[in-house]
Amino acid sequence: MAKAKFAVINDVFPSFRSQHIQVKVATSPWEKQEYFQLRNKTFTQEQTILTGKEKDTKDFEAIPIIALASNWSIGEEIAGAVRIYKISDADNTWYGGRLCVARTYRGYQNIGKALINEAVSRAKDLGCQTFLATVQPQNEKYFKSVHWKTLGSIEVAGKPHVHMEANLDMYPFMTRDLQ
């Protein structure tokens, strides 16, 4: 009698990705820890942009926003992250930054767009009059597709970036309580 042989090729089975994504402010300790781990993994390990200095003083005042992947209403992993913070009280200028999506969720369910929408809309609800970000050049077209305009070129951490501004008229006010 011949023995059955099974061959498992890992490439055939993609990583599990939750169908349920909630975008929200990171509030619990584990959410904040995973938020920073995803940022570190993306910008320090994968892209080597912010080696050794991924966290900065803006993190003390920033609102951390996450895309939380969950199953059965239980949060399981952080699928994406972004931070927002006010840079000027005089004209209510806000900045968004450190936008990242976990590798297994990239190009999946518009997580980047959902994070951008939450970031800009939340800042708008908090009185934002101008919302800015520095974006890697390869992402400029993506940001333009979600109603941003290019203001010029800028260097961040020794790498070229594009300085951009969101068209606030294209982003809704939020209708829920802000945290």
* pLDDT tens, residue by residue, 131-173: 999 999 999 999 999 999 999 999 987 889 999 999 999 998 8
Mean pLDDT for the chain overall: 84
**Domain residue ranges in the chain:** 17-170
Model pLDDT, residue 67: 94
Q: In this structure, are residues 175 and 151 in contact, taking their beta carbons and an 8 Å threshold?
A: no
Under CATH, what is the fold of the domain 17-170? Answer: Aminopeptidase (3.40.630)
| Residue 102: pLDDT over 70 | yes
Closest by CA to 67, choosing from 124, 29, 119, is 119
Model pLDDT, residue 169: 94
Strand order in the sheet with 20-25: 20-25, 63-71, 74-88, 93-101, 130-135, 159-166, 148-156
Confidence of residue 23 (pLDDT cuts 50, 70, 90): very high
pTM (two decimals): 0.82
The Cα 103–Cα 59 span in angstroms is 23
Query: At a CB cut-off of 8 Å and minimum separation 6, what does 8 contact?
Result: none
Pure H helices in 73-159: 111-125, 140-145
